[in-house]
Amino acid sequence: MSAKVFDGKALVNKLSRRIKRDADRLRKQYHIEVGLGILLITGDQVSMADSGKISEVAEQSGVKVHIERVAQRNVARRFYPTLEEYAKSPFIQGIYIQLPLPTQIVPLAEVMRRLPPEKDVAGLHFINRGIVTYPPHEVAERVHPPEILAIVETLKEAKFELKSGRVVIVGSNATAGMVKILASYLYDEGSNVKLLRYSAITREEDGVVSKRLQSIDDDKKDFDETIVNPDGDAVVTWANHPGWLSRSRLEPRSIVIDMGYKFARGKVSGDCDFMSVSKSAKLITPVPGGVRSITHVMILQNLINLIQRQMSEREDGSGKGLRRRFGVP
């Protein structure tokens, strides 16, 4: 039986309509123009395409977009001044900094110093990243990375039971931080979560990945395949190693969320061997066109939530929100 291929575009349209309604409501209620500032350093084709898609979805949702594309040679002259301008502007309630950043010329600490956590729609700021590690009942003001929210929305659309479902998450060193945040979010929702390290379940020598998985049992090191999710209803693979996840490594009728993303030779690839996995999975997200497109909308959802929080704090006179609570000047 062939898998259902997740329709990212349909969910984008549904969520975009919700964002537009919320933006219209905020505009009428508070007489403000909902604005998003996007800042990126040029040179990376994928990043530039992403920022363009975010801008397109935002404008369709009734959000005014201010975008600044900065060449690496102009970082000192344009990147930091633009970030500070966005931080002070009353017409920009949220700031999105397109990753990856060339940290050799744009140190993350310098970006954090200028990025207001109350305008951080990507959950990038140190404060926001720290807050999401606390249980929701302890700290309500949370800004989750949009990638995490996109995965959750996709699982909901796939009818995955967050409160009791079993999910296996496979990550690599490069994605470890986001994988931990995802695991924490799903755990708080009641899911049974299992984390696997990509390098621990594959045998990789000189950059070449063996088709065989490592054995947990030292006496049985050589065997053809093993199942990644023997007790799992869903698998989220976020290893950024193209095609490593095949049909033979999955329980039949699994929900497979492919967060892998590798751009090489003009082609984008995910972690799944799509043709193989689609023959037995219950649902599979394609790359491109899957969860990544939902991420663009969740940036706007974070923007709406931040504006509502800012307006509520202004009405009750509680001050500068996260900055006030955590002592940021």
CATH, residue 113: 3.40.50.10860
Give Cβ neighbours of residue 115 (< 8 Å, ≥ 6 apart): 83, 87, 95, 97, 124, 125
Per-residue CA distances from 162 to 68, 144, 255, 299 (Å):
38, 17, 13, 22
The bridge status of strand 262-264 relative to strand 267-269 is antiparallel
Task: Assess whether 125 and 166 both reside in one domain.
Answer: no
Task: Assess whether 316 and 220 both reside in one domain.
Answer: no
Domain contains 263: yes
> pLDDT value at position 211?
44
Task: Assess whether 30 and 100 both reside in one domain.
Answer: yes
243: domain CATH number? 3.40.50.720
Number of domains in the chain: 2
Pairwise CA distance, residues 34 & 62, whole Å: 8
> pLDDT value at position 2?
72
Residue 248 φ/ψ, nearest 5 degrees:
-70, -10
The amino acid at residue 128 is N
Task: Assess whether 198 and 277 both reside in one domain.
Answer: yes
Task: Assess whether 167 and 127 both reside in one domain.
Answer: no
Domain contains 151: no
> pLDDT value at position 317?
63
Per-residue CA distances from 94 to 53, 219, 224, 262, 295 (Å):
17, 55, 50, 28, 15
Task: Assess whether 113 and 166 both reside in one domain.
Answer: no
Please report which confidence band the pLDDT of residue 131 belongs to, taking 50, 70 and 90 as the band edges. Answer: very high
Burial string for 267-282 (b: 16+ CB within 10 Å, else e) reads ebbbbbbbebbbebbb
Domain contains 58: yes
Q: Which of 45-49, 152-156, 282-286, 290-294 has the lowest mean pLDDT?
A: 45-49
Domain contains 250: yes
Over residues 286-299, the pLDDT tens digits come to: 998 889 889 999 99
Task: Assess whether 99 and 131 both reside in one domain.
Answer: yes
Pairwise CA distance, residues 8 & 16, whole Å: 12
Domain contains 37: yes
Pairwise CA distance, residues 117 & 115, whole Å: 6
Distance of CA 113 to the CA centre of its chain: 22
Tokens 């095949």 correspond to what residue? Answer: 246
Domain contains 8: no
Give percent of the chain with pLDDT exceeding 70. Answer: 88
Identify the domain containing residue 40 by its residue range. Answer: 22-139+293-326
Whether pLDDT at 210 is above 50: no
Pairwise CA distance, residues 299 & 272, whole Å: 25
Better pLDDT: 80 or 49: 80
Task: Assess whether 254 and 165 both reside in one domain.
Answer: yes
Q: How buried is residue 257: exposed, middle or buried, by Cβ count under 10 Å (0-12/13-18/19+)?
A: buried
Tell me the three-class secondary structure of the chain, residue by residue. CCCEECCHHHHHHHHHHHHHHHHHHHHHHHCCCCEEEEEEECCCHHHHHHHHHHHHHHHHCCCEEEEEEECHHHHHHHHHHHHHHHHHCCCCCEEEECCCCCCCCCCHHHHHHHCCHHHECCCCCHHHHHHCCCCCCCCCCCCCCHHHHHHHHHHHHCCCCCCCCEEEEEECHHHHHHHHHHHHHHHHHCCEEEEEEHHHHCCEECCEECCCCCCCCHHHCCCCCCCCCCCCCEEEEECCCCCCECHHHCCCCCEEEECCCEEECCEEECCECHHHHCCCCCEECCCCCCHHHHHHHHHHHHHHHHHHHHHHHHHHCCCCCHHHHHCCC
Task: Assess whether 133 and 40 both reside in one domain.
Answer: yes
Domain contains 148: no
Task: Assess whether 99 and 126 both reside in one domain.
Answer: yes
Better pLDDT: 104 or 22: 22
Please report which confidence band the pLDDT of residue 24 belongs to, taking 50, 70 and 90 as the band edges. Answer: very high
Task: Assess whether 201 and 230 both reside in one domain.
Answer: yes
> pLDDT value at position 204?
52
Task: Assess whether 178 and 108 both reside in one domain.
Answer: no
> pLDDT value at position 325?
46
